Amino acid sequence: MPVNGVAMTAIGVAIIRARESEREDRLYDDPQAKDFVAAARAGFEPERWARVEALADQFYDGRTIGVRLVDERFQEAVAAGCRQIVLLGAGLDTRAYRMGLPADLHVYEIDLPELFAFKEPVLAATAATSTCHRHVVTADLRGDWRKPLLESGFDPAVPTYWVDEGCLGYLNQDWNRQVVATLTELSAPGSRFGAGRMVIDPDAPRYRDLRRLVAGDDAPEPAPNPPLADFDVEQWLNDIGWNTEFRSWNDMTAHLDRPAGRLDSRIGNIAAFRR
């Protein structure tokens, strides 16, 4: 049970997906999210659980819309012919079960051992079956994850959609670049990747609370990742073999019947397509 450390953040997102799934006007339905939440709650001290729930509350509005946007990118990638999807820091994601994905699609979920030690028994206890091939890849993205991915059956010759949904932000910039360089080498032409472009205030209370909860109360005050000074992500992606297209948050959310808030027009997603 990941009650500490970065794997715990996946539980917060499951709380958000469970809550969304109960709404009549839901943006997606994730029936297993409530099972993860129930199993996790049983392992937390009540005070710590209340803090996880309070943080899920604070992140709910934006994060739940973000889940829906990734669902849409998933469907676009599958329709465009990607037959492999790799979730970087998959957490408690259940898209392999809930999206009716085609049987010839392979979904590779990469995450830390403590995450899967919690996730797999909870999934096994539900009646859910995945509609596509699902592969669990236990690896640390700060180490050699290429080898376990290849050993799981990943084929670098097949166009792949790579998903970072709230994971790379937990790695420092050197590791981020290393991860993207590796996935670039593993990407056949036609592969896709999305990189968030955000403007956040790392000193805002919710980000400080999140860092504190992840680090543990006995650890020294954790510092935020330093911003990417003078580093143009779009230019770099173009230089290493991707064509990019920026989509603003405001444009991506305009069709949703949900107040998404108008954000700074520089905030959004850099969609990258492998040449």
Q: Measured between alpha carbons, how far is residue 189 from residues 163, 193, 195, 214 in Å?
A: 17, 12, 18, 37
Among the listed residues 91, 159, 194, 268, the single contact to ligand SAM using CB under 6 A: 91
Hey, what amino acid is at 233?
Answer: V
Q: How many residues bind ligand SAM (CB under 6 A)?
A: 22
**Binding of ligand SAM by 141 (CB under 6 A):** yes
Binding mask 99-118 for ligand SAM (x = CB under 6 A): -----------xxx--x---
Binding mask 31-60 for ligand SAM (x = CB under 6 A): ------------------------------
User: Looking at beta carbons only, is 7 or 18 nearer to ligand SAM?
Assistant: 7
Cβ 238 to ligand SAM shortest distance, Å: 26
142-161 residues near ligand SAM, rule: CB under 6 A = 142
Among the listed residues 56, 82, 167, 213, the single contact to ligand SAM using CB under 6 A: 167
What are the E-state strand segments in the chain? 84-88, 106-111, 133-138, 160-164, 192-197, 242-248, 268-274
Number of helices and strands (H, E) in the chain?
Answer: 10, 7
Q: Quick check: helix, strand or coil at residue 203?
A: coil
Choose the stretch contacting ligand SAM; rule: CB under 6 A; options: 1-9, 73-81, 218-226, 236-244.
1-9
Among the listed residues 6, 86, 101, 132, the single contact to ligand SAM using CB under 6 A: 6
Cβ 221 to ligand SAM shortest distance, Å: 20
DSSP string, 151-200: HTT--TTS-EEEEESS-GGGS-HHHHHHHHHHHHHTPPTT-EEEEEE---
The answer to whether 191 and 160 have CB atoms below 8 angstroms apart is yes
User: Looking at beta carbons only, is 20 or 111 nearer to ligand SAM?
Assistant: 111
Cβ 169 to ligand SAM shortest distance, Å: 8
The answer to whether 23 and 60 have CB atoms below 8 angstroms apart is no
Cβ 246 to ligand SAM shortest distance, Å: 22
Residue 134 has phi, psi (to 5 degrees) of: -115, 130
The answer to whether 196 and 176 have CB atoms below 8 angstroms apart is no
Footprint on this chain of ligand SAM (rule: CB under 6 A): 6-7, 9-10, 13, 89-93, 110-112, 115, 140-142, 165-167, 170-171
